[in-house]
Amino acid sequence: MIIVVLGPPGSGKGTRARLIGQMCQVPLIVMGDILRDAVSEGSEEGKRAKGYMERGELVPDDLVIGLLEEKLRRLNLKRGFVLDGFPRNLKQAEALDHILRDEGADIDLVLNVVVKDDVIVERLSLRRSCPHCGAIYHLKDKPPLKDEICDECGSRLIQRSDDREDVIRHRIMVYYKETKPVLDRYIKMGKVVEISGELMIDKIPDELKKILHERRLFPVDKLTIK
């Protein structure tokens, strides 16, 4: 079961990817998190990626493709995974196809999370995330139970340094220029289901479950979401 979640920054793709991973009990791969970890570890990859991320540019393809390959090597591809933040341009999409084809695997579903541009900026400025476990919060729509503390692991929440208005606008532009063609490619391949990024948070699990059932991707029925 291989699912790719696409959408502009702040669409809520991360929240949905995370839920699907939990529902289907498959690993979640978040390219942005892999990169942020590399930056905070100060690895060679992290040093190379840092400036691009701060400016809201795409990190070079060879770097992200290498990181993805490394991550996938440690997983059982046949069990599947959910991918958030990759592929972000056509070159990456072709690289992913290639990797999967070599393993006799294929993408089952591409979820495209749709949201209006003006919603994005407001939303990202209220976003907080857990640097430890990756949980995502929204100060208005999904606040943590305790101020500034992650419900799931107790770490102190952070605001990402690229969630600044000028960088957000640049990331949106990069999305339309680079990532939109990836979406069009998957639409032609018949893999895309579109979902709204503006649904109330408590309605999201049922919506996802319905889509997964329709595609025979078997989500677990009882899910405890914290």
Q: Binder to ligand ADP among 5, 35, 83, 135 (CB under 6 A)?
A: 35
86 binds ligand ADP (CB under 6 A): yes
Using the rule CB under 5 A, which residue among 40, 44, 116, 153 binds Zn ion? Answer: 153
CA 151 to chain CA centroid, nearest Å: 20
Q: Which two tokens stand for residue 172?
A: 């949106």
Verify binding: residue 113, ligand ADP, rule CB under 6 A: no
The beta strand positions in the chain, using DSSP E, are 2-6, 28-30, 81-84, 109-114, 127-129, 136-138, 192-196
Distance CA 164, CA 141 (A): 19
Member of 6, 111, 135, 168 binding Zn ion (CB under 5 A): 135
Contacts of 200 (CB under 8 A, 6+ apart): none
**Sheet-wide strand order for 2-6:** 28-30, 81-84, 2-6, 109-114, 192-196
Catalytic, 74? Answer no
Torsion of CA 40, 41, 44, 49, to 10 degrees: -20
CB of 224 to ligand ADP, least distance (A): 26
Whether residue 88 lies in the annotated active site: yes
Using CB under 5 A, count the residues that bind Zn ion: 8
If one asks whether residue 6 binds ligand ADP (CB under 6 A), the answer comes out as no
13 catalytic? Reply is yes
Does 19 contact ligand ADP by CB under 6 A? no
Q: Could you confirm whether 171 is annotated as catalytic?
A: yes
Q: How far apart are the first and last CA of the chain?
A: 24
What residues contact 166, with CB distance under 8 A and at least 6 apart?
none
User: Per the residue annotation, which of 18, 128, 171, 191 is the catalytic one?
Assistant: 171
Instruction: Assess whether 47 carries a catalytic annotation.
Output: no
**Cβ closer to ligand ADP: 8 or 80?**
8
Q: Which residues bind ligand ADP (CB under 6 A)?
A: 9-10, 31-32, 35, 52-53, 56-59, 64, 85-86, 88, 92, 162, 171
Q: Which residues bind Zn ion (CB under 5 A)?
A: 130, 132-133, 135, 150, 152-153, 155
Residues with catalytic annotation? 13, 88, 127, 160, 171
